[in-house]
Amino acid sequence: MNETLAATLGELQAQIYWLHDAEEFAQLASAAATIYMKLGYTQQQAETAGNLISQAYQLSDDAVLAQKAGNFDKEMQFYHQVKDKLTQVETTLVYQTSIAIHQMKWWMYFRHKQKLQTIIHLFLQHFKAVGWINLLTAIKLTYCLMEIGRVHKSRDFKTTKDNAIKYWTELLKIKPPQYSYLG
């Protein structure tokens, strides 16, 4: 396991959250693409995945606006589009297991402040990617992402980055056949 790689990926992941907040979607796409290039995907795969992830973030913001407007049907339409974009990321990266639905759902439940549902879908996203043999790792990854979300809300970039580095350190230890991270 390369600690330098985990540090680089953690910093990029933390940047993505801040770029999302700043609505710097082109830079977000670039940061996501860099993550996938560092993980060994081709430049074309990485750029495609990065752009799709950026689009998913934008659509999730549209879903939040629909939620605030009280338009549940429109909100769900946007979240289904988010799932579709994340599914395209999976296809681009040649993933075998569908985890996009769980990422979309934990994004939605996180924004609805439904903590238990958020945790369940965070766990399922990781468990489906890493499997039974890495159950403990799936639990650790879920915890790391919950901590990233909690600290990010308080606008603590350093601790967010530190938690993201822990996330990648755990994930890279097991050398998974596919990564549970989709942005």
- HEC assignment per residue over 51-114: HHHHHHHHHHHHHHHHHHCCCHHHHHHHHHHHHHHHHHHHHHCCCCCCCHHHHHHHHHHHHCCC
**Rounded (5°) CA angle 122-53-131:** 35
Decide if 183 is inside a domain. no
pLDDT value at residue 182: 85
**Long-range CB contacts (< 8 A, 24+ apart) of 135-142?**
137/170, 137/171, 137/173, 137/174, 138/180, 140/170, 141/167, 141/170, 141/171, 141/180
Report the share of the chain in percent with pLDDT over 70: 98
In tens, the pLDDT along 50-80 reads 999 999 999 999 999 999 999 999 999 999 9
Domain count across the chain: 1
* Choice between 156 and 75, residue whose per-residue pLDDT is larger: 75
Asked if the model's pLDDT at residue 133 lies above 80, the reply is yes
pLDDT value at residue 164: 95
**Per-residue confidence at 174, pLDDT binned at 50, 70, 90?**
very high
pLDDT value at residue 2: 79
pLDDT value at residue 151: 82
Q: What is the pLDDT averaged over residues 124-141? A: 95
pLDDT value at residue 129: 92
Decide if 121 is inside a domain. yes
Range of 50's domain? Answer: 3-173
In tens, the pLDDT along 3-45 reads 899 999 999 999 999 999 999 999 999 999 999 999 999 999 9
Length reported for the chain? 183
**Per-residue confidence at 145, pLDDT binned at 50, 70, 90?**
very high
Decide if 92 is inside a domain. yes
Decide if 29 is inside a domain. yes
Q: What is the pLDDT averaged over residues 101-119? A: 95
Q: What is the pLDDT averaged over residues 75-90? A: 97
pLDDT value at residue 39: 96
Q: How much is the pTM?
A: 0.93
